[in-house]
Amino acid sequence: MDSGVTAWLLTATALVFLMIPGLAFFYGGMNRSKSVLNMLMMVIGALFIVGILWALYGYSMAYGASNGGFVGSFTDYFGLEAALAPPGPDEAYPLMADVVFQAMFACLTVGLIAGALADRMKFGAWIIFAAIWASLVYFPVAHWVWGDGWIEMMDIGGASVIDFAGGTAVHINAGAAALAVCIVLGRRLGWPKQPMRPHNLTMVMLGAGLLWFGWFGFNAGSAYAADNTAAIAATNTLLATCAAGIAWLIVEKIRDGKATSLGAASGIVAGLVAITPACANVTPIGAIAIGLIAGAVCAWAVTLKYKLGFDDSFDVVGIHLVGGVIGTLLLGFLASDIAAEGGQNGLLYGGNVNLLIAQIIAAAGVLVYSFVLAGIIALVMKKVIGIRLDEEDEVSGIDLAEHAETAYELGDSGAGGAFAGVGHAARTKEV
């Protein structure tokens, strides 16, 4: 056992865990003041239930012996007893270090979906959905991408799929599910005509900062060693995110006349999402290019919900689905064996089109599977138990209705707080 590798994995695990409260702050600040506690509870509730399911059968489904490339053996690691043994002579870290590291990915991915469903989904229904979606979608998809499943084993003319830290398994997966469920759930009362501005932009910026901090563990930790690959992944994570923030603010300035703090926070997340699958396989210039493209395209994509009519409350689709697709597909152009020694080259580095084809197949496969399954789960739950809050409770506030609490005791009008700036106004009215 290599104590340095083990220490790095456990450190990366703690960093990724910090992303979960960071996500809660990021989403919570964007919510109206009468609904902020429920959003925090949705993210933390997903952590609770998915963490338990990961130990019972999730890790086994993701990393057990493959059944036809679709899902891992349900029994290989059921209850994690088989993961308790110390590492063998040729193993650098205990298996349990991998278990807890990957548990953070599972919990965070499910929590990402919550941002599309703000203000209107029953808390109990959300917990049930989180459990079912994790079991039927996330665990199998994690196996596809990282557990010797069909995506990891795909060979298109010698090219294989690159997804270093979760562009498909995490971001496309969660974004597609968010789109399906927010369509089934329906629009918030008053949306899009009534402004629904974030109640606390300081909280949003804090959440974005915690996400960025934790993302170094998310990406660099996926190297499974404190080595050159981890250093490249960490550097590219920094560069792409900076570039995406700049690009988002430029689009805002041109479109709305102002560069906003909400735009900066959103650009940060867009850059982090897009670089996730590519962080160890592109050069620093490639990372900057991915960030610039993702920041600009996602800043435009978040306005599509007004034209298409789906109420994705906090732009999970526009940032995570679109950003995940951008990062995954751009690898077909920007992957470089200069960054990943012995790796694959994209079209701009002398490669052929086969890598791009492989990336497209992987992205499309995860997108369609997650969208269809999430939609079916939500539709069945809607018919059987009901998932939408009553109108009266939605008007008075989901915090009171579902949790018998309010976030603030003074000056809480429930109307969404102070004016959030021109940039957000462009995202809360038809454009």
The whole-number pLDDT of residue 184 equals: 98
- By the 8 A CB rule, do 329 and 360 touch? yes
- CATH code of residue 171: 1.10.3430.10
Q: Specify the residue for token string 């349990």.
A: 96
pLDDT digits (tens, 9 = 90+) for 23-75: 999 999 999 999 999 999 999 999 999 999 999 999 999 999 999 999 999 99
Backbone angles phi, psi at 72, to 5 degrees: -80, 165
Which value, in Å, is the radius of gyration of the alpha carbons in the chain? 21
**424 in a structural domain:** no
The whole-number pLDDT of residue 415 equals: 42
Query: Does residue 422 carry a pLDDT above 60?
Result: no
What gap in Å lies between CA 405 and CA 39, rounded to an integer?
Answer: 13
Query: Does residue 414 carry a pLDDT above 60?
Result: no
pLDDT digits (tens, 9 = 90+) for 81-134: 999 999 998 999 999 999 999 999 999 999 999 999 999 999 999 999 999 999
Cis check: omega of the bond before 192, within 30 degrees of 0: yes
**236 in a structural domain:** yes
pLDDT digits (tens, 9 = 90+) for 1-21: 899 999 999 999 999 999 999
Instruction: Specify the amino acid at residue 126.
Output: W
Query: Does residue 423 carry a pLDDT above 80?
Result: no
3-state secondary structure of 58: helix
Look at phi and psi of residue 418 and say left if phi exceeds 0, alpha if psi is from -120 to 50, else beta.
Answer: beta
**421 in a structural domain:** no
Of 18, 26, 38, residue with least CA distance to 266: 26
End-to-end CA distance of the chain: 57
**265 in a structural domain:** yes
Backbone angles phi, psi at 159, to 5 degrees: -95, 140
Q: Alpha helix locations (H) across 31-94?
A: 36-53, 59-63
What gap in Å lies between CA 57 and CA 76, rounded to an integer?
Answer: 9
Return the structure tokens found at 214.
Answer: 């934790």
Of 264, 186, 198, 189, residue with least CA distance to 31: 198
Strand partners, 67: 71
**429 in a structural domain:** no
Whole-number percent of the chain with pLDDT over 70: 95
Is pLDDT larger for residue 427 or for residue 167?
167
- By the 8 A CB rule, do 241 and 216 touch? no
Return the structure tokens found at 51.
Answer: 């963490």
Find the mean pLDDT for residues 357-383.
Answer: 98
What gap in Å lies between CA 42 and CA 407, rounded to an integer?
Answer: 15
What gap in Å lies between CA 235 and CA 216, rounded to an integer?
Answer: 9
**419 in a structural domain:** no
What gap in Å lies between CA 296 and CA 261, rounded to an integer?
Answer: 16
pLDDT digits (tens, 9 = 90+) for 279-325: 999 999 999 999 999 999 999 999 999 999 999 999 999 999 999 99
* Mean per-residue pLDDT over the chain, rounded: 94
3-state secondary structure of 339: coil
- By the 8 A CB rule, do 117 and 111 touch? no
**425 in a structural domain:** no
- By the 8 A CB rule, do 266 and 423 touch? no
Q: How many distinct structural domains can be found in the chain?
A: 1
> Whole domain around residue 168: which residue ranges?
3-403
The whole-number pLDDT of residue 170 equals: 98
Count of C-beta atoms within a 10 Å radius of residue 185: 21
- By the 8 A CB rule, do 327 and 294 touch? yes
What gap in Å lies between CA 107 and CA 20, rounded to an integer?
Answer: 8
